[in-house]
Chain A
Amino acid sequence: MSWLTEYVRPKIRTLLGRRDVPENLWVQCPSCQQMMFHAELEKAMKVCSSCGHHMRPSVAERLRWTFDDGAFTRIELPKVPADPLRFRDSQRYTDRLKTARDKNQSDDALAVAHGSIGGQRAVAAVMDFDFMGGSMGAAVGEGIVAAAKLAVLQDAPLVVFTASGGARMQEGAVSLMQMPRTIIATRLVKEAGLPFIVVLTDPTTGGVTASFAMLGDIQIAEPGALIGFAGARVIEQTVREKLPDGFQRAEYLHQHGIVDLVAKRGDLQATLGRIIGLLRVKELAQAA
């Protein structure tokens, strides 16, 4: 498999979190303004102890919380041609990319790793909202395809954590084409008889929602997550109506039958493990 030798150079990361934040630092909940100790918040998986608000975690945190014992192996993702349009607004796209790369210490808005969840082999892909709003360009699309191929190769389910403002405008129609490309990725996983599970996190909108993010065998959402296709402002301007309370939030989608369940972050790992176990009857029968 050439893509494996070319792209999937294992990159073992230190499993412990960075300790660059002093433990006595206070953090304020953006929802209820409650002050909490940073260390305490970390222990609570960045969920406010006062109001239950789920704050955005880093990619490293997400991977740590998802895999058993916080142990996983990250893979290097395929390189894609940078800046296919030679796009420039007030800034060159290449400069924006460089700034985002320096700030986030990553190539683009997606990380892929493998490990086990509930004792079962699994591949996870995590979108990074901090990297240019989690926007999907060729790198993210190619990364989702690589994650799907890795899942097939490892005979493992694919769990995708979405967080995206939508398309990477600076890649124009190339970014639009990531919609069919990532949908092909979901087909690869499904055709191999493997579960494709989507965890929608705050926020997931636009072209990501309207492609692989809505095609999970199981659709899970984090409490309070904003999930939708069109932006609230665009909708308001179009229909000239006040948006209903809780519009496009995880619970609203659950009520409207668009997601299977809303799972609290603290329950997520157990939920994923249980669902994978329930779906993978064939694998167990073959192993026995």
Chain B
Amino acid sequence: MLDARPMRHFLEFEKPIAELEGKIEELRKMSEADGLNIADEIAKLTEKTDKQLRATYAKLTPWQKTQVARHPERPKAGDYLRGLITDYEPLAGDRAFADDLAVIGGLGRFRGRSVVVLGTEKGNDTESRVKHNFGMAKPEGYRKARRLIELAGRFGIPVLTFVDTSGAFPGIDAEARGQAEAIARSIEACLESPVPVIATIIGEGGSGGAIALAAGDAVLMLEHAIYSVISPEGCAAILWKDAAQAPMAAEALKLTAEDLKRLELIDTIVPEPLGGAHRDCDATIAAVGDAIAAALTPLLALDAAALKAARREKFLDMGRDALT
């Protein structure tokens, strides 16, 4: 008996893979119906698919990575919270205006240790995407983040953030309530934290809305995640006067994990399963957990002053001797 598997969402450049997997699926159905033994055939095709996947994913262009980073089936912040955090106690609100669900977070345990967790949540289906405003936070979201980061500081418990956002929400109400100030204060809270702050860019690290939760001691990034000052489409519209030039802008912006590591703007790249995080969510989440644990251990040995000083030095050093 085969489990009914939901239709996978294939990206444009994954067409050859989609065709191969379609064939395998057909063969499986045939073998089930006719009782034929075509295991060999399936094994051969599976091997071919793996080969194709490996070849495709070994040389993804920055624009293809952008598609993977935005893949609808990619694990979202909430999936990491469910996978990595026990005793999760969600906390709500900025104590001033609202609870912005684009930013989720609360208390919990990471491998037994008390932590504050925060994430920008894009949602997994239409309903949850609307509920979380597609991961685009308003001022109250960043103020909630700041509140939780400060809470962690008061009780000496580390902060883990999971970043996946196209950026802060561009809206009238957001501006009226001080979007810029809210982002600035959230970055400041990360920088001033007396406890370790570990940020993981799990999908899209979009501009100010991302750095608001990512000015940490250790910044991890998934292999196919992107992190940029502007979306490739936005950059293309401005500099190329044509949003269709996004693939070129993606290339020019150097937004891949590999680029950011080379520029010394992030600390660790977390490898993804073959074919991207969405092909094995559990393995991805486990790998991120291991990377967070590895980053956390040395930080726990530092006192608040040393931690803050090292964090400042790290950011002040950035770009000072960038490769040219």
A residues lining the B interface (CB < 8 Å): 80-90, 138, 141-142, 145, 167, 169-177, 179-181, 183-184, 186-187, 206-207, 209-215, 228-231, 234-235, 238-239, 241, 243-244, 247-248, 252, 256-258
Task: Give the interface centre of B191, B240, B319 by most chain A CB atoms within 10 Å.
Answer: B319
Given A89-B240, A177-B318, A211-B184; A172-B254 close (CB under 8 Å):
yes
B residues less than 8 Å from A169 (CB atoms): 229-230, 235, 238-239, 253
B296 within 8 A of A: no
Q: Closest B-chain residue to A206, C-beta based?
A: B208
Given A84-B324, A184-B316; A235-B180 close (CB under 8 Å):
no
For the complex, give the distance between the alpha carbons of A170 and B230 in Å.
10
For the complex, give the distance between the alpha carbons of A243 and B244 in Å.
27
| Chain B interface SS verdict (over half) | helix
For the complex, give the distance between the alpha carbons of A258 and B139 in Å.
12
Given A183-B184, A229-B179, A247-B172; A85-B315 close (CB under 8 Å):
no
Of A88, A170, A172, A230, the contact of B168 (CB 8 Å cutoff): A230
For the complex, give the distance between the alpha carbons of A243 and B322 in Å.
41
Within the complex, the shortest CB–CB distance from B183 to chain A, in Å, comes to 4
Given A90-B239, A138-B319, A238-B170; A173-B184 close (CB under 8 Å):
no
Contact A83 B324 (CB under 8 A): yes
Q: Closest A-chain residue to B236, C-beta based?
A: A89
Of A83, A174, A248, the contact of B318 (CB 8 Å cutoff): A174
A residues less than 8 Å from B89 (CB atoms): none
Contact B207 A207 (CB under 8 A): yes
For the complex, give the distance between the alpha carbons of A169 and B252 in Å.
10
B321 within 8 A of A: yes
For the complex, give the distance between the alpha carbons of A175 and B229 in Å.
7
Given A173-B254, A176-B211; A80-B320 close (CB under 8 Å):
yes
Contact A172 B319 (CB under 8 A): no
Contact B188 A88 (CB under 8 A): no
B270 within 8 A of A: no
Contact B211 A180 (CB under 8 A): yes
Given A172-B228, A183-B191; A81-B174 close (CB under 8 Å):
no
Contact B252 A256 (CB under 8 A): no
Given A173-B255, A179-B208; A214-B315 close (CB under 8 Å):
no
B residues less than 8 Å from A230 (CB atoms): 168, 170-171, 174-175, 179
B residues lining the A interface (CB < 8 Å): 168-172, 174-181, 183-185, 187-188, 190-192, 207-208, 211-212, 215, 227-230, 235, 238-240, 248-249, 252-255, 259-260, 263, 265, 312, 315-316, 318-324
For the complex, give the distance between the alpha carbons of A174 and B211 in Å.
12
Of A85, A142, A181, A186, the contact of B254 (CB 8 Å cutoff): A85
A residues less than 8 Å from B252 (CB atoms): 85, 87-89, 172
Q: Closest B-chain residue to A186, C-beta based?
A: B188
A residues less than 8 Å from B315 (CB atoms): 177, 180-181, 184
For the complex, give the distance between the alpha carbons of A206 and B319 in Å.
20
B residues less than 8 Å from A256 (CB atoms): 176-178
Contact B319 A81 (CB under 8 A): yes
Apart from A180-B191, A214-B184, list 5 A-B contacts with CB within 8 A: A84-B263, A172-B228, A173-B253, A179-B187, A244-B172
Which A-B residue pairs are the 8 nearest by beta carbons?
A: A230-B170, A84-B322, A209-B180, A210-B183, A229-B180, A89-B239, A214-B181, A176-B229
For the complex, give the distance between the alpha carbons of A257 and B181 in Å.
11
For the complex, give the distance between the alpha carbons of A174 and B320 in Å.
10
Given A89-B240, A172-B229, A183-B188; A235-B172 close (CB under 8 Å):
yes
Contact B180 A228 (CB under 8 A): yes
Contact B175 A228 (CB under 8 A): yes
For the complex, give the distance between the alpha carbons of A228 and B170 in Å.
10
Contact B240 A174 (CB under 8 A): no
Given A81-B321, A86-B324; A211-B172 close (CB under 8 Å):
no
Given A84-B324, A183-B188; A176-B228 close (CB under 8 Å):
yes
Of A81, A211, A229, the contact of B187 (CB 8 Å cutoff): A211
Within the complex, the shortest CB–CB distance from A10 to chain B, in Å, comes to 23
Given A174-B263, A180-B211, A230-B170; A81-B191 close (CB under 8 Å):
no
Within the complex, the shortest CB–CB distance from A174 to chain B, in Å, comes to 5
Contact A210 B324 (CB under 8 A): no
Of A82, A172, A183, the contact of B324 (CB 8 Å cutoff): A82
B residues less than 8 Å from A174 (CB atoms): 263, 265, 318-319, 322
Q: Closest A-chain residue to B184, C-beta based?
A: A214
Q: Closest B-chain residue to A230, C-beta based?
A: B170
21 contacting pairs across A/B (C-beta < 8 A): A81-B320, A81-B322, A87-B253, A138-B320, A138-B322, A167-B229, A172-B228, A175-B229, A176-B208, A177-B265, A177-B319, A179-B187, A181-B318, A183-B188, A184-B191, A210-B181, A215-B181, A228-B180, A230-B174, A235-B172, A239-B170
B residues less than 8 Å from A176 (CB atoms): 207-208, 211, 227-229
For the complex, give the distance between the alpha carbons of A123 and B66 in Å.
43
Given A167-B229, A184-B191, A229-B183; A84-B319 close (CB under 8 Å):
yes
Task: Give the interface centre of B180, B188, B322 by most chain A CB atoms within 10 Å.
Answer: B180
Contact A239 B172 (CB under 8 A): yes
Q: Closest A-chain residue to B245, C-beta based?
A: A89
Within the complex, the shortest CB–CB distance from A230 to chain B, in Å, comes to 3
Contact A235 B170 (CB under 8 A): yes
Contact B174 A258 (CB under 8 A): no
For the complex, give the distance between the alpha carbons of A7 and B121 in Å.
44
Of A180, A181, A213, A235, the contact of B171 (CB 8 Å cutoff): A235
